[in-house]
Structure 1
């Protein structure tokens, strides 16, 4: 440095890189632990079913398919 020559401080770079990897790994472990503690959200009841005749998606409470007009065998209201 005193002679005015360029100096490559690769030791400093390696230190910073190792510190970054350690911090990133610690954050990864914390996030992983938090996600493990979270309870899974309850699954909602299905709102649609497939028509056995045409395989189109229809509402659960439907008694007749609006696409192919086949009877679904449900109770009429």
Structure 2
């Protein structure tokens, strides 16, 4: 059983999957940083200096200046600003994966078959140019 597991684990597909998961995790961190640190601050500035990570609905009835303060106090909150950031993360990752898959499919596309430029002589069965009217090998007239 151990031998079978080793064969399974060392197959190319399993290793490719493991590498893909590791790279995907790292890519996810990059996208999260892009959304939180580069995309959302200018967007928040355009929307009146709004910090999306501090958008929350307080369910306790008490006032809190920030989401962190509400969570530190143990107040129940709905963090819809964090949810917006997470949705943007997902959209960016999904779009990036779409672009990668599109390029892979483009590279895997079957080449357009090239029309033949030769034909076979009906008498000597030699390959001759398609426009030839006479075979250069046996001098027979070819249709």
What TM-score, normalized to structure 2? 0.30
- Which of 111, 127, 140 is 1:57 aligned to? 127
1:49 counterpart SS class: strand
Which runs of 5 or more structure 1 residues have no equivalent in the other structure? Answer: 1-16
- Which of 100, 108, 111 is 1:41 aligned to? 111
Matched, 1:21 2:35: no
Which runs of 5 or more structure 2 residues have no equivalent in the other structure? Answer: 1-5, 21-100
- RMSD value, Cα: 3.6
User: 4+ runs of 1 displaced by more than 6 Å?
Assistant: none
Deviation at 1:39, TM superposition (A): 1.0
Distance 1:40 1:51 in 2: 30
Deviation at 1:21, TM superposition (A): 1.3
Equivalent residue pairs, number: 55
Deviation at 1:61, TM superposition (A): 0.6
Structure 1 or 2: more helix by fraction: 2
What TM-score, normalized to structure 1? 0.52
Distance 2:10 2:117 in 1: 47
The one-character-per-residue Cα deviations of 1:25-68 (angstroms, maximum 9, x if unpaired) are 2328x8xx9xx832101110101110001100001010000000
